[in-house]
Structure 1
Amino acid sequence: MAYRVVVVGATGNVGREMLNILAEREFPIKEIAAVASSRSTGDEIEFGETGQKLKVKNLEHFDFTGWDMALFAVGSTATKEYAPKAAAAGCVVIDNSSLYRMEPDVPLIVPEVNPDAIDGYKARNIIANPNCSTAQMVVALKPLHDAAKIKRVVVSTYQSVSGAGKEGMDELFEQSRNIFVGDPAEPKKFTKQIAFNVIPHIDVFLDDGYTKEEWKMVVETKKILDPKIKVTATCVRVPVFVGHSESINIETEEELSAEDAQKILREAPGVMLVDKRENGGYVTPVECVGDFATFVSRVREDPTVENGLALWCVSDNLRKGAALNAVQIAELLGRRHLKKG
């Protein structure tokens, strides 16, 4: 079984990572197209170990008819215009933007967590990929929720600048260099200096004082995992190029010891437990880059609530938080629905 696959936004950080992961995981591809805006039309991108050259095609003129699935890694504006066109042409859209995540008739999927929900894709021919910080968190929470039923989650994130795209990465690099040589480090992409600093502000502020990024973590966790879970989040941008980290406190209905939680997480799909309780016995963002796993460390009991646990969670946000999860959705879609010769 092999598929005709389109990667939309193929020249961006996430789009390039999608191409890398499709090749790494040997996704069954009959034909692949790299599509982007008119600015990149005609550029060439390498695909796979053989170095196959893909010539970038213009999204404005691309015909999705006859293609099986399209992995979208463009902003909400372009997605709003072109995803419905692809879906109407019979091409299943797997969308990385926030546009469709909370639409009731669009499944929001993390394959390790809620694979059965993908069966609802036929309503719109669109599947949504969750926010990067949500994706890694629910992978870590799902096995614990199954074991002891999570009631409440308090999460603080430490999100890398790659979550803000190439502009965010460039700003961290340029500000760091400028500070070393004594030049000004004026913010452009971010609201304050990001080099050697942290910014407790991601996305726009809402009326209740939370940011939209924090709101996404709340509503997406409820949609993916369980609508009864109470979630509060504080999302912080940190001067790290790639890799999101999260400090997570959970309260469960049933008692769950740290030792039992470790055993559960050790066997959980998509999770890599690294929890040695010694110097260096945990994972940091630098070590997770390029890896498929969601790493969990520092599992311990929280004595401030009746049934509480605290843990540290790290993942490559360009992979599990975006590109990898999209490819995993494509794999799941192929296995369950798109039987191709």
Structure 2
Amino acid sequence: MSKLWNVAIVGATGAVGAQMIECLEEREFPVGEIKFLASSRSVGEVLEFKGKPVLVEELKHDSFSGIDIALFSAGGERSREFCPAAAAAGAVCIDNSSAWRMDPEVPLVVPEVNPQAIAGYAKKGIIANPNCSTIQMVVALKPLHDAATIKRIVVSTYQAVSGTGKKAIDELRKQVGELLNCRPVNCNVYPHQIAFNCIPQIDSFEENGYTREELKMVNETRKIMEADIRVTATTVRVPVFYGHAESVNIETEKPLTADGAKKLLKKAPGVKLVDDPAKEVYPMPYTAAGQDLVHVGRVRQDESIDNGLNLWVVADNIRKGAATNAVQIAELLVQKYLNR
């Protein structure tokens, strides 16, 4: 019998926390005991794991006794406060917030791209899960970078409201209903109406005019790919419930044809090539939702520059962009590092 691992999910009542629970079940992760942790507001709620009720407990500094792996999805502030406590108690933290991503002593991991980086977990007992939009992009670009060396990336994202959480999902749903009934809408989550609209702002603006979300994509891509790639990003929130889409333009050092790129993508781990324009087949959020693969299509030459390619990349931001990636990290962690 394989070893079982005690797991805590921090932020278990949130959208990503709920998906983490589902992913652990679906992927049959070898869980011994499971603990659901959340803020005091959620204490007493009952969630299920493998058909059995589990009481939600309050997140405290002493919540991690006996825990082997702690999956965090409760925001950067709580991660900064509680990950060190969990690590001190002997748990390895896999954190979905931005709190630790750029810490040089914390590995930032996408299993299909840089699984070897997991080995660095021992420095602080923490592994960072990248930004959802970064994850799907680097999964798609990794095989192309290995073949032709990417010099520059220009990416525009079209990100679903679920990336903001349950309140944003509810706000979009409510606004659609109000507008269809000719009633005014309230904007509580976003600075503007999101229903039937696009908002070219995700997170706050920095002095250089970029948002924090855009700079995350720049810095995280370089760290994960371990390369000094020039990256520029524009991130947009769109009225879609689940599934981030990205228009990605790359420039490579070596020539790479669109057909050559498609052949590489077709066999790349974690990628599903969805590319038959003649039959109007291409990736879309609603067809990628509920799946763990990164869908790539509209692969074509950029005729404005030498060695340029365009791609359209879509993935479920709650699954591969967050929960599934974290569970995949946990799988590699127990297989290659903790199970010795």
Flag whether TM exceeds 0.5 (same fold): yes
Structure 2 counterpart of 1:29, from 28, 31, 43: 31
Superposition pairs of residues 1-341 of structure 1, within 5 angstroms: 1-48=3-50, 51-60=51-60, 62-339=62-339
Q: In the TM superposition, what whole-angstrom CA distance separates every residue of 1:230-280 from its partner, at most 9, and x where no partner exists?
A: 000000000000100000000000000000100000000000001012243
- The code of the aligned residue for 1:242 comes to Y
Q: Secondary structure at the match of 2:278?
A: coil
Q: What is the CA–CA distance in structure 1 between the aligned matches of 2:13 and 2:66, rounded to whole Å?
A: 23
Q: CA-atom RMSD, angstroms?
A: 1.0
Q: What is the CA–CA distance in structure 1 between the aligned matches of 2:25 and 2:184, rounded to whole Å?
A: 42
- Is the Cα–Cα contact under 8 Å of residues 159 and 244 in structure 1 kept in the other structure? yes
Unaligned runs of at least 5 residues, structure 2: none
Q: What is the CA–CA distance in structure 2 between the aligned matches of 1:234 and 1:320, rounded to whole Å?
A: 21
- Is the Cα–Cα contact under 8 Å of residues 113 and 138 in structure 1 kept in the other structure? yes
Q: What is the CA–CA distance in structure 2 between the aligned matches of 1:93 and 1:296, rounded to whole Å?
A: 31
Q: What is the CA–CA distance in structure 1 between the aligned matches of 2:232 and 2:145, rounded to whole Å?
A: 17
- Is the Cα–Cα contact under 8 Å of residues 95 and 127 in structure 1 kept in the other structure? yes
Question: Deviation of residue 33 (structure 1)?
Answer: 1.0
What is the number of equivalent residue pairs in this alignment? 338
Q: What is the CA–CA distance in structure 2 between the aligned matches of 1:73 and 1:63, rounded to whole Å?
A: 15
- The code of the aligned residue for 1:234 comes to T
Q: Secondary structure at the match of 1:292?
A: coil
- The code of the aligned residue for 1:269 comes to P
- The code of the aligned residue for 2:41 comes to R
Q: What is the CA–CA distance in structure 2 between the aligned matches of 1:225 and 1:102, rounded to whole Å?
A: 13
Q: What is the CA–CA distance in structure 2 between the aligned matches of 1:339 and 1:41, rounded to whole Å?
A: 33
Question: Deviation of residue 65 (structure 1)?
Answer: 2.0
User: TM-score under structure 2 normalisation?
Assistant: 0.98
- Is the Cα–Cα contact under 8 Å of residues 62 and 85 in structure 2 kept in the other structure? no
Question: Deviation of residue 61 (structure 1)?
Answer: 6.2
Question: Deviation of residue 66 (structure 1)?
Answer: 1.8
Q: What is the CA–CA distance in structure 2 between the aligned matches of 1:33 and 1:338, rounded to whole Å?
A: 20
Structure 1 window deviating more from structure 2 (307-316 vs 180-189): it is: 180-189
Q: What is the CA–CA distance in structure 2 between the aligned matches of 1:4 and 1:209, rounded to whole Å?
A: 44
Runs of 4+ in 1 over 3 A off after TM superposition: none
Q: What is the CA–CA distance in structure 1 between the aligned matches of 2:244 and 2:325, rounded to whole Å?
A: 15
Q: In the TM superposition, what whole-angstrom CA distance separates every residue of 1:54-84 from its partner, at most 9, and x where no partner exists?
A: 1111112653122111000101111111111
User: TM-score under structure 1 normalisation?
Assistant: 0.97
Q: Percent identity?
A: 57
Q: What is the CA–CA distance in structure 1 between the aligned matches of 2:184 and 2:80, rounded to whole Å?
A: 38
